[in-house]
A and B are shown apart, each in its own frame.
Chain A
Amino acid sequence: METLWFVLIAVLWLGYLFLEGFDFGVGMLLPVLGRDNAERRVMINTIGPVWDGNEVWLIVAIGATFAAFPGWYAALLSAAYLPLTLFLVALIGRGVAFDYRGKVDNPRWRKAWDVTIVAGSWIATLCVGLLISTTVLGLPIDENGDRVGSAFAAVRFDTVLGALAFAGYALVHGAVFTALKTEGEIRERARRVALTIAPVALLPLIALLAVVAGVWAGVVVLVLAAAMWRLLHNRDGQSFALMGLAIAASVAILFGSLYPNVLPSTLNDAWSLTIANSASSPYTLQVITWVAAFGTPAVLVYQGWTYWVFRKRIGVRHIPVQ
């Protein structure tokens, strides 16, 4: 039962990284791919109907961790207090920016919210990468699960690599998504940018996986190469799907290497939090398993339907004239 929930939480993180990965990427690339206001509106509209739903994957991942592994939730969140504060501020700013940017017709107003979207997307992406690599690579925690040492214990070489890994992935993923969802010049630009930055941007992810799992990183390298190859041949949809496969493989490698720990202690192996010593009681796990068993398929169906409803590519011609 604990193992099932460990896998489910990994799946929730996968859903989050895959889905919000591209909407983070779109935010990060807003000034690069969107040259004027109309183009930026096209970009934001590609994620408009879905980004909020994507974000719920994070909320459920954290909520499920609280319910299934309170020890993990308590140790990780209290130890990474400052990075998480930064993350929350970035998410708040970015979230309201999407909604508020178009509500006043004034270039300075829009500019301010565009800056918020870009900064918020970058900061939030880096923080998510930091958070996940911290849980995989461990923290200096004592036998109570409390952090020992500085407030910046979560910020180290290997976790910063994790931060860059997800940021780099989100950049490419966002560009591929923009290519898939738009038409005309902006689509061409998105493809060009994705292909140009991919070799550099994806490097930290591969490095992180190599640190964690050695040659297994090769699998992800192959999938990512295939994604870029399909993009080169104008197969945006296949490229996007392969990007999804790449993050799925990465999550499998990262969480696979973590198991059966949930948060290793870098001080003493005996103090590591494991699925056994941080899990809730079997009854609680059973309750939330029932909820997840009925809830998750429904979520997949109606979120999938949303993507279907808004499946059409959009372009500058769809943006109302102001």
Chain B
Amino acid sequence: MEVLELARWQFGITTVYHFLMVPLTIGLSLLVAGMQTAWVRTGDERYYKMTKFWGKLLLINFAMGVVTGIVQEFQFGMAWSAYSRFVGDVFGAPLAMEGIVAFFVESTFLGLWIFGWDKLPKKVHLACAWAFSLATMASAYFILAANSWMQHPVGIEMHEGRPRLTSIWAVLTNNTTLAAFPHTIAGAFAVAGAFLVGIAAWHLHRKSEEERVWRSSLKLGTWVGVVAFSVLAISGDLQGKLMFEQQPMKMAAAEALCHTEEPAAFSIFAVGDVTRPDCENVKSITVPALLSFLAHNDFSTEVKGIEDLVPLYQQKYGEFYPVDERLGELSGKPIDYVPALPVTYWGFRLMIGFGAISAGLGVFMLWLTRRNRTPTGWWFPALGLAGIATPFLANSFGWIFTEMGRQPFVVVPNPSGVDGVWMFTAQAVSNSTPGEILTSLIALTAVYSVLAVVEFYLIRKYVRGGIPGVLPQKSDDGALAFAY
């Protein structure tokens, strides 16, 4: 079905692209606010320079995060209008809250921060930095609450065929949200940490001016990365346990677990094709009983496999799509409850793998630079710079896994929730023509590609420029510390 495929590609591309900017923005804005606090409290110039340098890189990235975020808000209505009609009563509320409570704060105080360096008292200016960085986190919270509701609908009743909100509190304290928030925020800090480490290592290697700045940045980055990884591991485990309960098919797909096992082994790596129905032939390297532990905190329990879950899903949510011309060729066809296994299986492994590499690198960098040492080999900055990519990749694969793993649902049924609240992705698309979606897909992807090059160029330029490149220009009467 062409419209469905195009709309899914568009959503995937715009969302993953947007999420390349978001984690760096969230992590870096809090770290920059922290650096500025250190400067205001101690008066140490080093922290001022850190604030300026990392702040500049934050702003280059922030602009892209904002403009690509607007697309997200529009595309539910543009490409997924049937979805919007179905869930609007619930899903719109956290989005509106994000706008009113968080987004206004974020953008207004960012403007004040950028232009207010010489116009505001030091402490007020610092408060602006905290206001926008905390609002960035609040923003993430509301969006995750909306997303988690799609993964696990709560706080609702059915009314005339649509879910109706009965408790906003239940939506905001959904256990899925409470697990996803620390996981996502820690992912953001892992990105920011690796970013600091990579760039600081490069400057240390080049013996750039302001060695103290780079050394502090590197140390801060490694610690942030290491702490972030421990939060990621703990919250990821929590999320996994919830997922076994809320979306058993997603977790079976994550393991390409065809048959129910008791106790179930965790697959580390697979050789061969993980596509169904061949998943039976996969030779994988496994850790016995670990999956049982991940699922239920107990090494001996049963974990249900795909073949046994499919009949359960069919029994609860139907075997065939309804006969409806809007479903196109899927109308009346059997529903495939198994998500794309190669995507979920490898997505899950790549998320964990890149996350672990990132944390390992952090620890290694900390050890390399102990007692103010700097390794002289070219591999040292190369390792640092390559390390920047790892948490980005882990984040992207994590999201791809989460979103692809819930297919064929766009709103996943809550097994212990209100009956009848779910929606198939195929039913969610707009009544648009393929041409419209294709045009916007091409237009947005083209713009994104150009901007990716521009952003990379700018970040590289300001990274190379080091500290002198970011210190403010002053006009004769000092009226403006910053000018476009």
Contact = CB atoms under 8 A, between A and B. Distances in A.
B104 A299 contact: yes
A288 B96 CA distance: 7
B93 A284 contact: yes
A77 B78 contact: yes
A151 B166 contact: no
A84 B77 CA distance: 11
Q: How large is the interface on B (under 10, 10 to 19, 20 to 34, 35 or more residues)?
A: 35 or more
Given A56-B107, A319-B483, A66 B95 contact: yes
Contacts of B239: none
B333 interface: no
A302 interface: yes
B67 interface: yes
Contacts of A146: 81, 431
A238 B110 CA distance: 29
A309 B120 contact: yes
A78 B166 contact: no
A275 B224 CA distance: 50
A15 B461 CA distance: 38
A320 B474 contact: yes
B109 interface: yes
Q: Give the secondary structure class of A's interface.
A: helix
Contact of A66 (B82, B88, B116, B433): B88
A25 B416 CA distance: 54
A101 interface: yes
Contact of A303 (B63, B87, B108, B110): B108
B253 interface: no
B433 A151 contact: yes
Given A104-B458, A310-B119, A88 B108 contact: no
A283 B483 contact: no
A41 to B, nearest CB: 5
Given A76-B77, A77-B81, A309-B120, A56 B67 contact: no
Contacts of A211: none
A314 B108 CA distance: 20
Nearest to A144: B431
A216 interface: no
Contact of B96 (A49, A66, A78, A102): A66
B325 interface: no
A260 to B, nearest CB: 19
Interface stretch (A91-99, A166-174, A246-254): A91-99
23 contacts: A41-B483, A44-B484, A52-B66, A56-B107, A59-B99, A59-B103, A81-B430, A81-B440, A86-B443, A88-B74, A92-B451, A96-B67, A98-B484, A104-B461, A145-B85, A284-B92, A288-B96, A288-B97, A291-B101, A292-B100, A314-B479, A318-B483, A320-B480
Interface of A: 41, 44-45, 48-53, 55-56, 58-60, 62-64, 66-71, 73-78, 81-82, 84-86, 88-89, 91-93, 95-96, 98-104, 144-147, 151, 280-281, 283-284, 287-288, 291-292, 295-296, 299, 302-303, 306, 309-310, 312, 314, 317-322
8 shortest interchain CB distances as A-B pairs = A70-B88, A77-B77, A67-B92, A320-B473, A74-B81, A78-B81, A295-B100, A67-B96
